[in-house]
Each structure stands twice: as structure tokens, then as C-alpha cells.
Amino acid sequence: MDLPQLQALAAAVEAGTLDGAARLLHVTPSAVSQRLRALETSTGQVLLVRSRPVVPTPAGAAVLRLARQVELLVADTRTALTGDEGTAGPPVLPLAVNADSLATWFLPAVAPLAADVQLDLRVADQTMTSALLRDGSVMAAVTADPVAVPGCTATRLGAMTYRPVAARAVADRWFTDGVTPAALRRAPVVVFDRTDDLQAHYLRRRAGDGPPPPTHHVPSSADYLAAVRWGMGWGMVPDLQTGPDDGLVELDAGGAVEVELWWQQWRLRSPSLDRVADAVRAAAAAALG
């Protein structure tokens, strides 16, 4: 496995097509195809499903992790030797983070490093980000999974506290008799996306099993908060996004849900990745406790 072959694999997955990979690498699509065939021959494995977009096979995910690691080590070594990142610029660090962390404490943590690394942020639910580590898509992730992905380390960051809140009009209309199981099954609820289980978890705890209430999906952290403020329904909102003057009513004083967050990253000695990890851990310690 040589460097151009590994670069071809990483570029194909990033771009989604061989033509896109060719544009990223400034070579012809035929050259990308030849490099991928040579890589598959040398590993004795099919590494990519040639769909649109291309998808790494399980063997391809393992080699993709190697490709990402080699790219990072090459970039770090070039900087260490010459003090210059070269034409490619600072090293690229693909990271996965949940939307609520991204909207609150994560960006202030990594912003001071913007001149030294190129951040490629992938947003996914905290229960899903570790899967991006497993398939080689990212080098590190903020995740709810405390079990380290093979080849990675896991460090606890803290917990985000979510509470069931609603606009005053929603509370007055649907919860005049309190947060009863019947009221929770009738009142509309705002859910982030179809992987978001926070509201469903709270409903099961307070109302048991039953048909879901009317549900609005708003897959943006800022817009989710706006939807709750505009009275589209109640929702589980993190304490980091609420305040005394936001017009929201806490529906259930005992209804807080704690979501533990962990930082998982490749077990790889990289100055660039270590600097990001240090910044993330320090910010989490201040914001999450």
C-alpha cells in the first residue's frame, strides 16, 4: 500500500465518486481507478462498493482509517521538518460532534486553532457519532458512547442537562392540569430528527408506552430552540441554551435528563489532533462540569 493509493481511497470516500476524487487529487479518473484497483489487489479485498456515492466495505473502512492516519502523520511531519504546511495547507481533521454541543460549547473551544488545522465537522446525534469513527470517516468524535471504538481512546467530557420546556402558550393550553400522561400524549412535541431519542425517553418515563403525540421534526439546533419558543410544541432543551429571559416554561421540575458525553479519538500521536483534544477537554470541563 503506497501513499497515492491510500490518498485515492480517502479522496473517493470524501468526494463520493471517482470523478470527484480525481478533481481533489488533480489527476485523471483513470489514474484514481488504477490506484484503487492496485490497492484492492495488494490487500486482497474489495474496498469500495462502486455506488453513488461510493461506500467503503468493512475492509475498506479499515484501510480508510489507515489512509486518514497516514495523511495526518505526513502533514504533521512536513510541518515539523520545514515549518511549512505546503500547498495543502494545515492538516485536515475530520471530527464528529452532536448538534447541541456544536451550537453551545464546542465551536468556542476549537476556534482559536483555526489557523493551525482545517476542521471538517460532521454533525450527527451523540448516539451515532461513534459509528463515524468505526468506518474511518472521522478521527475523533464527541459521543455518548463510553466504550472506546477499537483503536481509539475514550475520555469523559461531562454531561449536558436537558429539561422539558415549552412556550407559555403551550404550557397553558396543554398542561393546565400538570404534566400528566394524558397531556403528554396529546400535546405536540418538537423532535430534532429521527435519531433523536430524548423526547421519546422522557415520554416513556412519564407516560409509559403508547402512541406518539403529534411530532414536528426540526433538524437544526438553533431552529429547534426557535420552534419551541414559537410554540410549535414542547421539547427537551439543554440548559446551555436556555436562560431566565427566554420566555420558556419548565414543565416538569423532576424531568431533567442527563446525557453523558465522551471524547473518542484515534490512538495516534499527532500534535495537531492532540491540540484539538486538549482544547475540547478544557472547554468541556468549564461548560459541562
Torsion of the alpha carbons at 130, 193, 218 and 262, rounded to the nearest 10:
-30
Torsion of the alpha carbons at 105, 109, 114 and 120, rounded to the nearest 10:
-50
Calpha distance 204→197 (Å, rounded): 10
Residue at 72: amino acid letter:
L
Contact 251, 165 (CB under 8 A): yes
CB hemisphere CA count around 108 (13 angstroms): 9
Domains and CATH numbers, the chain: 1-86 (1.10.10.10), 160-259 (3.40.190.10)
Confidence (pLDDT) at 88: 65
Chunk the chain into consecutive blocks of 10 residues (it has 289) and report each block's average pLDDT, rounded to whole numbers: 92 93 94 95 93 91 90 85 72 94 96 94 91 89 94 95 97 95 96 92 91 94 95 97 88 94 92 95 94
Confidence (pLDDT) at 152: 92
167 DSSP β-pair partners: 248
- Give the C-alpha distances (Å, rounded to integers) separating 273 from 12, 91, 227: 23, 9, 36
